[in-house]
Amino acid sequence: MERLVDPAIADLQADYGDARRRGAIWSARRVLLVGRLAVIKVLTLAAVIELGDVVRYPTATECAIYWRALRAFMTASIVATMIFIAQNHTHLDLTVKAPRTLFVLYLLPATLPLSVAAGVTFAVLWALRTERLTARIVGAMLAVALLCSVAMFVDVAWVVPESNQAYRELWAGKPVARGDHEMSLSELRRQIALRPDKKRRLALTYHQRWSISAAPLVLTTLGLAMVRFHCRKRTTLLLAGGICLTYWMMLFAATDAGIWTMMPVPIVAWSPNIASALLASGLAWRTRNT
């Protein structure tokens, strides 16, 4: 970091100082803007390189943490997926003549965003419950959470609409028209413009797709803040379960609020993430000196 970022900042300061001494105010401002962008780029590259080092040269402690996190992630994700599928399966009409495994397969993409969010929450709290947080571990956890969020966005944007539609057609046994949850993001945007009567409901679906994709990243951040603030070995599972349950309840409450109140839809859709991020910021602020 010292060899990558410091020279970029030092060159920026010197370049800016030169421009100021020449009296070229606008040139100085341009130098500052271009230089800051370059520093951001260097910082990003440095973070990627650091992450590469974490992956390639982990210490024994880090290895143990990553394995523990992976096991917790897999267990929590699988359990959450099974709960969601079982909950949907109870509504299944038993007279439908189609293989049950196909129904489960088509349900899977829709359950993933929440089960992965649960997985990362349990992974962070379980793996780090007795560990001292280092920049490398926090960076690795956040990078994995970011990857999960990107993967979940791909899932909700392109995979879920198709699998939902396939599920509905399998149930009906014939082609059926697509509903709100079976439309792609571009189709939703088009329908919002075309259907003023359903604008609010469609906009809520649209914004919730984006919001739910960010859940793994937001919940990981909250989990890391929780670990720093207060995490005891015995209460870890309770804490992780509590976070997930609260997040899901906020999600349901946000859906109701989006439909039945006149609050701005983007704020309502993002409210579970906003509340979690605010809580994480508050906890980080309380523990800033520890």
The footprint of other proteins (CB under 8 A) covers 3-11, 13-15, 17, 34-35, 37-38, 40-42, 45-46, 49
Contact criterion met (CB below 8 Å) for 216 and 152: yes
The minimum distance between CB 145 and other proteins, in angstroms, equals 24
Q: Which is nearer to other proteins, 13 or 61 (CB)?
A: 13
* 95: DSSP letter: T
* 3-state DSSP assignment of residue 231: coil
> In the complex with other proteins, which residue's Cβ is closer, 41 or 198?
41
Q: Cβ of residue 13: shortest distance to other proteins, in angstroms?
A: 4
At closest approach, how far in Å is the CB of 1 from other proteins?
Answer: 10
Q: How far apart are CA 57 and CA 182, in angstroms?
A: 44
Helices (H), 57-182: 60-89, 100-127, 135-154, 160-172
Give the containing element (helix H, strand E) for 158: none
**DSSP codes joined into one string, 243-254:** HHHHHHHHHHHH
Residue closer to other proteins by CB (options 4, 253) is: 4
Q: How far is the CB of 56 from other proteins (least distance, A)?
A: 14
CB of 17 to other proteins, least distance (A): 6
Residue tagged 């966005």 (tokens): 153
Q: Which is nearer to other proteins, 37 or 278 (CB)?
A: 37
Closer to other proteins by Cβ: residue 44 or 235: 44
**In one letter, which amino acid is 62?**
E
**What are the tokens at 129?**
């419950």
Using CA atoms, how far apart are residues 257 and 219, in angstroms rounded to an integer? 22
